[in-house]
């Protein structure tokens, strides 16, 4: 079995992912659904290890051996894949995420026009949230590339691994990959503050030190973007605060209330009568009511604020689902099944 042929097949089928797990047929994900390629051979444990290790350099092989998993980027022709190699029941497996060779605009991604505001911010903290595989990295790349096209800025990205490679426009962009260009998120973020950045993209916030440094960077005049694996804006704010020990949480509430500009929660939904998927989003724009709720630890009020501040750019996830349903983009069943607040979508549709 040839890895390059499997990756080319993933490209040809317009799949988002390729999964190689011993004992199963090679499996691709198309429009959110998994399909086993039963016309090919079942993956043999001995062959897959040899095939997957062949894409690693010496240092990556040592990391995989020590950690039993590794993230990296791999290129075939002009197409890049985000790769995770890991062990399951002592057998090597691989997941390959296809990264589009070009960076789409927000319009081409069918995202709300209000997100263009992110590119015009001078400082603050913007958070994109959602489960894995819901388009967060693609949306962030679109926003960062818009900054790249419009302004002469120094943009630093810290990624694991590097996904989209930005073309040369007005900005200069330093893309740093974990393990290859830096040893940790926190060290890279500390270093970034001494590298004269205007914009910092932190691929993921995994611990309180990284979150603390990201908030400090936003507080000291930088525009900071990052991601979290959360489902809604209120949940995202709670997650950030809960990362910290109790004695620091009041301080973090105040800091977050001051620097937060926007929380965008995103999911990709099956499009009606199509193999494509379409994004649904919740957008929380920080205003005095939101910042007061954060400071006072009353994030349960944010859903109500979302509903009453649509004129300022905010939108409740269920309101976006309703708009997509009324436009014939998604079915009623999809709207109900993806809703964060089931009672709210039932009320809106009825």
Q: Which residues contact 54 (CB under 8 A, 6 or more apart)?
A: 3
Which pLDDT score, from 0 to 100, does residue 204 have?
87
Q: Is 43 a member of any domain?
A: yes
Q: Give CA separation, 63 vs 85, 125, 163, in Å.
A: 11, 32, 20
Provide CB contacts within 8 A for 167, sequence distance 6+.
103, 145, 148
Does 130 lie in the same domain as 40? no
pLDDT tens track for 179-237: 889 989 999 999 999 999 999 999 988 888 999 999 999 999 999 999 999 999 999 99
- In-domain check, residue 121: yes
- CATH (domain of 41): 3.30.450.90
Q: 6-30, pLDDT tens digit by residue?
A: 999 999 999 999 999 999 999 999 9
Rounded to the nearest angstrom, the gap between the alpha carbon of residue 300 and the centroid of all alpha carbons in its chain is 24
Q: Among residues 99, 130, 160, which one ends one of the domains?
A: 99
Confidence of residue 31 (pLDDT cuts 50, 70, 90): confident
Whether residue 166 lies inside any domain: the answer is: yes
pTM of this prediction exceeds 0.95: no
128 and 39 in a common domain: no
- For 293-313, write each residue's pLDDT tens digit: 999 999 999 989 998 888 899
CA angle 137, 316, 203 (to 5 degrees): 20
Those residues with Cβ within 8 angstroms of residue 138's Cβ, 6 or more apart along the chain or in another chain: 100, 104, 109, 164
Residue 1 pLDDT exceeds 80: no
Q: Identify whether 106 is part of a domain.
A: no
* Domains contained in the chain, number: 2
Return the closest-CA partner of residue 136 out of 303, 302, 319, 279: 279
Show which of 75, 99, 123 is a domain's final residue.
99
Range of the domain at 340: 113-349
CATH number of the domain residue 127 falls in: 3.40.50.300
Question: Each residue of 107-118: b (16+ CB within 10 Å) or e?
Answer: eebbbbebbbbb
Contact 263, 283 (CB under 8 A): yes
Question: What pLDDT does 326 receive?
Answer: 96
Residue 283 within any structural domain of the chain: yes
pLDDT tens-digit map of 117-162? 999 999 999 999 999 889 999 999 999 999 999 999 999 999 999 9
Residues 64, 158 within the same domain? no
Range list of β-strands (E), the chain = 17-20, 27-30, 33-36, 69-76, 79-88, 91-99, 124-129, 154-159, 172-177, 199-202, 223-228, 260-270, 277-285
Give the angle 54-37-267 at the CA atoms, nearest 5°: 90
The rounded distance, in Å, linking the Cα atoms of 338 and 140 is 22
- Average confidence (pLDDT) over 230-253: 95
* Secondary structure class of 292 (helix, strand, coil): helix
Residue that is last in its domain, among 74, 99, 124: 99
């Amino acid at each position: 079995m040839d890895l390059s042929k499997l990756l080319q097949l993933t490209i040809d089928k317009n799949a988002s992912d390729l999964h190689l797990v011993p004992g199963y047929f090679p499996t691709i994900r198309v429009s959110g659904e998994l399909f086993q390629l039963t016309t090919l051979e079942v993956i043999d444990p001995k062959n897959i290890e040899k095939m997957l290790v062949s894409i690693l350099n010496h240092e990556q092989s040592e990391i995989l051996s020590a950690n039993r998993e590794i993230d990296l980027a791999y290129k075939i022709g002009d197409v890049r894949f985000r790769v995770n190699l890991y062990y399951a029941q002592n057998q090597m497996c691989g997941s390959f995420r296809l990264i589009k060779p070009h960076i789409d605009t927000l319009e081409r991604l069918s995202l709300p026009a209000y997100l263009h505001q992110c590119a015009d911010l001078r400082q603050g903290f913007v958070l994109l949230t959602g489960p894995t595989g819901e388009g967060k990295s693609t949306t962030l790349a679109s926003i960062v590339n818009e900054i790249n096209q419009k302004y002469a800025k120094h943009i630093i990205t810290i990624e694991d691994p590097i996904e989209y490679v930005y073309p040369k426009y007005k900005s200069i962009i330093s893309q740093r990959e974990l393990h290859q260009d830096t040893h940790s998120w926190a060290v890279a973020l500390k270093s970034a503050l001494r590298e004269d950045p205007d914009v910092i993209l932190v691929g993921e916030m995994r611990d309180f030190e990284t979150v603390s440094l990201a908030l400090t960077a936003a507080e000291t005049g930088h525009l900071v973007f990052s991601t979290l694996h959360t489902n809604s804006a209120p949940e995202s704010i709670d997650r950030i605060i809960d990362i910290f020990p109790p004695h620091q949480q009041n301080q973090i509430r105040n800091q977050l209330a001051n620097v937060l500009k926007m929380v965008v929660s995103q999911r990709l939904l099956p499009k009606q009568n199509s193999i494509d998927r379409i994004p649904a989003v919740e957008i929380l724009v920080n205003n005095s009511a939101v910042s007061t709720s954060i400071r006072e630890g009353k994030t349960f009020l944010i859903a109500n604020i979302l509903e009453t501040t649509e004129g300022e750019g905010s939108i409740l996830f269920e309101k976006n689902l309703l708009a997509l349903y009324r436009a014939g983009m998604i079915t009623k069943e999809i709207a109900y099944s993806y809703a964060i607040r089931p009672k709210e979508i039932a009320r809106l549709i009825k």
